Structure formats: C-alpha cells, structure tokens
Amino acid sequence: MPIDLYYFPPSPPVRAVILLSKALGIHLNLKVIDVTKGEQLDPEYLKINPQHTIPTIDDHGFILSESRAIMAYLVNKYAKNDSLYPKDPKEKGIVDERLYFDISTLWMRLFNAYVPVIFGMTDEVTEESIQGIERAFEILNAFLEGNDFVAGDHLTIADFSIAISTHFAEMLGFDIGRYDNVSGWYERCKDCLEKYGFEEVNTPALALGEWYRANLKEEYRKYRTLSCHNYLTMLIIYRMTIDLYYVPGSAPCRAVRLAAAAVGVNLNLKLTDLMGGEHLKPEFIKLNPQHTVPTINDNGFVLWESRAIMGYLVDQYAKNDSIYPKEAKARALVNQRLFFDQGTLYSAIADYYYPQLFAGAPADPVKLEKITGALGLLEKLLEGQTYAAGKNLTIADLSLIATVTTIEALSYDLTPFKNISKWSAKIKGEAPKYQEANGDGVKHFKELVDRLTKK
C-alpha cells in the first residue's frame, strides 16, 4: 500500500520528499492541501497535523511532518542501504548538520525573503534579506570546498534538501554562479537526480516564480534578477574529552551539555566570546565556516548545529539508544520534534526577542503571535504525553527544555500552557546534571537579559 503524502505541489519541502521517494522507489498517494485556500487549517487536517504544515505523511497510521524528518524516516525504513543517510555516527552527524543548516539558515532566509512577496504580503525584498541569503550561500560554498556533495563524497538526503532550496533561489533570480563550489555541486546534483525526475518534480515550482514576479515592485525586478550549508568506544570517553566551543547562556549550547550529561561524555568547555567577536577570528572560522556555537571537536571530527551534535553524541557514545532510538518510527518522531524546535519554536523566540536585546529594535506584535502559536503547538503535542517524543526521555526533551527555559528567562508567562508547565517540571527533575548543564546557563542568560534591558 502507498504512503499518503499531504502536499502542495509548488512547495520546496514537498518536492524534496517527492524526489527522495522516487529515488527509493516508494509509491506515494498524493493528497493536495491547497494552502492558498487555507485547507491546512481545516479541522480534519489539524487532527492529522496540529502544526498544520506540509508535507505530512501517513504511513499506515504513522503520521509524520517536517520534510527533513520524513526524508530520514523514509531512508531508515525503506532504503536498501544507508548510503543516502549513513548509520555511521560521524557520517550521519555531518548529514544532520547540513539538514539543520538548510532548515535554520539557507531555507529559512530564502523563505523569509521571498515567500511574503509570493503570497502578496509585501512587494519588495529587502537588501538585508538578500545579504543574509548571500552569507548562507557563502557558508554552503565553504562546506563544498574539496567535497563533491554537501556532506562528503557521495549523494545524501542533505543534497536532496539543499538542492531543492537552491533551485528555489535560482528560480527567483538569485545568482548562484558567483559561488563556484555551489554552482559545480548544483550541476552535479541535477545530473544525479535527473534519473528520478528532478526537472519534472520541480515543474510545479514555476507557479511560485510567476506569483513572485507578479507581486514584486517593478524597480526591484531587474535588480533582484541581477544581484541574486561499543564498549571500546565507552572506554575512550574516560581517556579524552570532546572540545565544546560554547556560550553559557546559549540555549543550543545548553542542549548539547544536557545531551552530553545524559550520555556520560566529558566536555572540555571552551568559552567563545561572541560579544568580543571570537567566533569571527580566522582560527574559529577555519574550524567552523558558519562561525556558530555550539561547535564540537571530537579528536579532529568537527561538528556544529546543536541538534546534529546531540544525535551524534548518542549514536557514537551512548550505552543504548533510549534517548535517540534507532527504530525508524521512534527516531522519526524525535527528529520531527527537533526540527519543530529549531524551525518553529526556537526561531520564533529568537526572531522576536533577539533584535530587541541586541539591536534595540522595537517589539513586533506579529512576531510575538508566532511565539504564542508555536507554544500552542507544543502544548498540543504534549497533550496526554509525559515526554515530547515517546514514552521516555529523549534528546527532543533536552533540546526543547533548553528552549522553553530560555523563554522563561525572558519573563514570558507560561502558566496558560498547562501541559508545557507539567512537562517542563518533569524534565528539570529527570535530566541528568540538569542544574549544571542547563540551570546555571539559564541564570547566565537571565543576567545578560537584565543587563541589556537596563541600558
């Protein structure tokens, strides 16, 4: 029997899932959700996916959303081998890192710049948005230095996802030809993926281009067209530590420390002064071209993006897989929650509060509503559940608790969210070394917030 895919044909995340399904030989029963008519908000669809996003799959009663979580699930469940999503912890860690880069940096910046124009909410793309996209492609260009594909020497689901994002950018007039590595990789990807129907799968995207150009101010059109990332192992843990480049108050850094504590991994903490620009120094950029924290260096294996790091630590060092299950459906749920945290909840919090704290911007009530909506989704996800993704503590809980305690430190009132409050209290009491790994960092963050708001 085929897998039901709820989709909107032009959607880039949808197209990534469809393309991968063709590569795996999976038959999909396509069910159109017309977002232009608000069908994603219909009660029957909300029952399937309270986050009311596409794509969503129904694999004989197993419901999953978030395209990158779906892609990982499809490979884990149905692929003949793991080449597209390796089981080796280091190789998988790099793929995960690139997927998180796509959702939180490349695709997010493309989405924020172009989608409001596509749907007629504005008629211009700001220079700031274009500069953000340019920086994202510069990072991707660095990833590809010396590599044929975004996560190494062979095609993975990270290429499927990022190739679709790149197609979206190019279709809307962004010039990727300036980035030699990106341009060469994209041509290789198109050649590799054409046997699965790359051009055919992307044909519906032409509608987005038409809507975009129709809504764009005349004076922006020419400019944008031109201007436009086993046992022996356990013994090793006690002999050496993993370097963690971090900031105490950072939620992603705290999430990594929680995961390390749960696994029993010792971390060599290397404070990185973001205010002093240490992350922009050549030696750090050489380590991490995206110049973000947290970043780990595990005996020469360098990885960033907190949720990719958390998955890697479990896969590489945990005694068992309880906090990041290997079983395909269980892992898919954890991944879904991680992508929800990164792409919806944490990004909404950062988008509202950080411009106020670090740039003196005024409060934006529209952005505040996004936080309320994201918390409402988490509240629904926790309805009748003790944990965020299953019957026991997982890295999804650890990532989400770091995010939720961040908004608590920002004095956001969580009392209306009874499920979140109950879950939060449980995780705080159950997560190993909670105070050291997260509680103290929250205090650091709160002190920083207080200093900045008193200026």
- With beta carbons less than 8 A apart as the criterion, state whether 259 and 435 touch: no
Catalytic residues: 250
- With beta carbons less than 8 A apart as the criterion, state whether 397 and 389 touch: yes
Q: What sign for the dihedral angle of Cα 93, 134, 167, 67?
A: positive
Say how many Å lie between the first and final Cα of the chain, rounded.
62
